[in-house]
Amino acid sequence: MRVLVVGSGGREHALAWAIAASPLVDRLYCAPGNAGIAEEAECVPIGASDIAGLVDFCRREGIEFVVVGPEAPLVAGLVDALETEGVPAFGPTAAAAAVEGSKGFAKELCDRAGIPTAPWRRFRDSAAAKRYIARKNRMPIVVKADGLAAGKGVTIAHDRNDAFRAVDAALVEQSFGEAGREIVIEDFLAGEELSFFALCDGTDALPLAAARDFKRVGDGDTGPNTGGMGAISPVPALTPVLEGRIMDRVMMPALAAMRVQSRPFKGVLYAGLMLTEEGPRLLEFNARFGDPEAQVLMMRLISDPLPAMLAAHDGVLRRVDLRWHTDAALCVVLAAKGYPDEPERGSTIRGLDRAAADRQVKIFHAATRRHGEELIADGGRVLGVTALGRDYAEARTRAYAAVNQIDWPQGFYRCDIGPR
């Protein structure tokens, strides 16, 4: 079949790489893709948010299945537009992607479905928000822009003044535009974080492997939040009992509540969880794979992902079983200096062939492009060096050995990716 992957990050490279190996695929396209994806798929210069352009391309090329990577086109209704034109697509409709597109919607869903989450309130008025904060006597407190803010909409405020500033930034200064017209304020939760993924077909959910990502830019979890500087899978803390509990108390209730609201969720439901002393608590839902979590997941996946994605689309996930390497996978992200604020663009990266010589290592590209023979860094997160090993120590050694082969003085990475 003719398949299109939408997106241009490391996640989409991992998805394209896994899908390209499927015997079901005759031709694989990616819009817009990057220099690494171009080795797995035919890249077409259509932006991930150009809904009309993507629909038009699918009709013209007879695309039979579309896999959407990033959240923005999902929330903007790409899947709805494709399905209206008879093009099957993997991912939620805009109505279902609201679990990610609106934090207030997600929190209401939690309350309705009895999903454990931090106590919260939503506000449009800054004075009311500040009165709520003033009544709280436990700090830190968490202030979140309601809408999509590219990972920058969450402030962990360590005192009331920090929290007031975050409220004003969103509601008064409108630093997040539309996405910050409303905010959610919630209690701070302490614990270890876990990214939990399930394939969903509207009714059923199939748990995928779990992962942990490393959000802070610096070693030892220091510095500002990023999209993710690395990932590991599996997560040592996720026992079968805990997985069962997350499915029963978080994923299945969410699916049931979405169905009741006539927003059946199809695609990947990603629960960002905090493993607190009182049990798992939901931090956020996302409507897609994580990035760089997809890189470690695809590395561990033995089965062909395409039949599972088709089954999720067709509502027959019951029949699917996926096999995973029991090995550990570990991804180290290389980012351009200046990331996450102002990444320097345009530098040349060398040595990738050398670095990728180990067959247990795969280098997923994010923001890269070709200029003649040269590989150019073209954004914040640029490469995701991902390795498999019998255990974390082995995966880690392999990944960092490959990182050390890469000649890119304008890049940086965290040296401490691995289990705690």
Q: Any contact of residue 210 with ligand AMP (CB under 6 A)? A: no
Question: What is the per-residue binding string for ligand AMP in 281-300, x denoting contact by CB under 6 A?
Answer: --xx----------------
- Nearest Cα residue to 401 out of 350, 355, 336: 355
Task: Tell me which residues in 254-273 interact with ligand AMP (CB under 6 A).
Answer: 272
Helix intervals (H) in 102-194:
103-113, 126-135, 160-171
Contact partner, 40, from ligand AMP, ligand GLY, none, Cβ < 5-8 Å per class: none
CB of 107 to ligand AMP, least distance (A): 10
Angle (nearest 5°) at CA 206 between 203 and 211: 130
Angle (nearest 5°) at CA 281 between 94 and 180: 45
- Nearest Cα residue to 96 out of 78, 75, 81: 75
CB of 282 to ligand GLY, least distance (A): 14
Report the distance separating Cα 388 and Cα 398, nearest Å. Answer: 8
Question: What is the per-residue binding string for ligand GLY in 208-247, x denoting contact by CB under 6 A?
Answer: -----x-------------xx-------------------
Report the distance separating Cα 381 and Cα 353, nearest Å. Answer: 19
Task: Tell me which residues in 78-117 interact with ligand AMP (CB under 6 A).
Answer: none
Report the distance separating Cα 381 and Cα 232, nearest Å. Answer: 17
- Residues constituting the chain: 420
Whether 310 contacts 351, CB under 8 Å? no
Residue type, 326: T
What is the chain's Cα-based Rg? 21
Task: Tell me which residues in 133-172 interact with ligand AMP (CB under 6 A).
Answer: 142, 144, 154, 156
Would you say 58 or 109 has its CB closer to ligand AMP? 109
Residue 63 has a CB neighbour count (10 Å cut-off) of 21
* Angle (deg, nearest 10), helices 10-20 and 305-314: 100
Among 73, 104, 202, 290, the residue binding ligand GLY under the rule CB under 6 A is 290
Among 186, 201, 293, 327, the residue binding ligand GLY under the rule CB under 6 A is 293
CB of 26 to ligand GLY, least distance (A): 30
Main-chain phi, psi angles of 407, to 5 degrees? -100, 95
Task: Report residue 259 as tokens.
Answer: 């169905």
Binding segment (CB under 6 A) for ligand AMP, from list 2-10, 187-195, 202-210, 251-259: 187-195
Point out the residue whose Cβ comes nearest to ligand AMP. Answer: 284
Question: What is the per-residue binding string for ligand AMP in 211-240, x denoting contact by CB under 6 A?
Answer: ----x-------------------------
* Residues in touch with ligand GLY (CB under 6 A): 213, 227-228, 286, 290-291, 293
* Residues in touch with ligand AMP (CB under 6 A): 118, 142, 144, 154, 156, 186, 188-189, 193, 215, 272, 283-284
